[in-house]
Amino acid sequence: MNADKQLRKLTTMVVLSILPGLAVAGVIVPKAGSGHQVPAIQGGSAASGPGVNDAQTWRKIVAAPPSAKMSFRTRVDAEKSLTQAFAAGKLNDLPPIAGSDGTILYPYGGSWPTVVASPLHISIIELQAGCHPEQLDIGAPSEWILHQAMAGDTPILTVSPRFAGLHTNLMITATSQSGKPLIYYVNLVSDHSKYTPKVGFYYPQDIQSTWHLQTANAQAAKAKADAETIATLPNINAADLDFRWKTHCAGGGWFSDSACGNIRPVRIFDDGTHTYIQMPSGQASRGGMPTIMAENSAGQPAIINWQYRDHYFIVDSVPHQILLLAGKGSAGKVVKITHR
């Protein structure tokens, strides 16, 4: 019996001398003070190069995130503001966006994201909504627990280390909803207690492409509206328009309508303040631009102010009678416009 006890004791000592930690519920837990270093958390930086955050930066982000809670609106506003500043040359690099719920958003294609994970905890990596994941590769598959899932149309990956002190990387290939290839390259480190609950991405190139498309659509819509618009007039109320105007030829060769047809207006109306005289399109090449004169209710000549814009004579008053004059002598043409 004593021999059996001594044998079991010896076996236990051998196992403990081999394993760095104890096996608890299938997870290897390092012994306290084992000296494992986590590059992204302890002593120095995880990696060097553009877009890689040092240990101090990540310690602050993980341990003390911003106090303002990030909503969908503030996230979108932050993405747009940062992308706009970067496009304008005000930023050399696009920074991550952090929220009080522990979410950290990296600019896709502009940085090397770092996920700090911890045993017995799950960190989430969120991919682009609508994309289709294809392949997943990790540097140390036996040391990490990975699961793929869907949240609506958004693919997510759950990450959990088997023990602290790990450092590896992860690559995920996917195809976006529009058919573009996506490659996510993520740095993974593990700590005893600290971890990043959720890492996602924002997409500056997509934001800029959306802006360009919106600008092109706006320009196309404006061009279409310009092509469909005969004239743009001051703001007027259609209910105030008075179309009770008539025209007839009052001079020229045969004193007939046909004698002044090439300077005869298409339409006349007023709004109580201005009189609008619409001339045919291409009037300058058809019959030349007539001169405007006016008569008051006593038949006396009246001086009027007017301007010509978008095929319209716009008179700054509502005279009793308006004359359009072109040519002189027997070849002269006169159109008399009278309010009924």
Q: Are 326 and 287 in contact (CB under 8 A)?
A: yes
Residues 6+ apart with CB under 8 A from 173: 133, 134, 135, 136, 181, 182, 183, 184
CA distance 136 to 75: 28
Structure-token match 């007027």, residue found:
236
- What is the pLDDT tens value at each position of the chain, 340 positions in all? 555 555 444 434 433 333 333 222 222 222 333 333 333 333 333 333 444 445 565 555 555 544 455 666 677 777 778 777 777 777 777 888 876 666 888 888 887 888 999 999 999 999 999 999 999 999 999 999 999 999 999 999 999 999 999 999 999 999 999 899 999 999 999 998 888 889 999 888 888 777 788 888 888 888 887 776 666 666 677 778 899 999 888 765 444 444 677 788 999 999 888 899 998 887 776 667 888 888 877 778 787 889 888 788 999 888 888 988 887 766 678 888 998 8
Q: Where are the beta strands (DSSP E) in 242-311?
A: 245-251, 267-270, 275-278, 291-295, 301-302, 306-309
The single-letter code of the amino acid at 88 is A
Residues 6+ apart with CB under 8 A from 95: 82, 107
CA distance 222 to 256: 42
Name the H helices within the chain. Answer: 2-18, 55-63, 72-87, 204-228, 283-286
126 - beta bridge partners? 156
**What dihedral angle (degrees, nearest 10) is formed by the CA atoms of 191, 195, 200, 205?**
-50
The burial class, CB within 10 Å (0-12 / 13-18 / 19+), for 280 is: middle
Given this model, what pLDDT does residue 149 score?
94
Q: Are 164 and 170 in contact (CB under 8 A)?
A: no
- Model-level pTM? 0.49
Q: Are 136 and 129 in contact (CB under 8 A)?
A: no
In this structure, what token pair is assigned to residue 176?
A: 């976006």
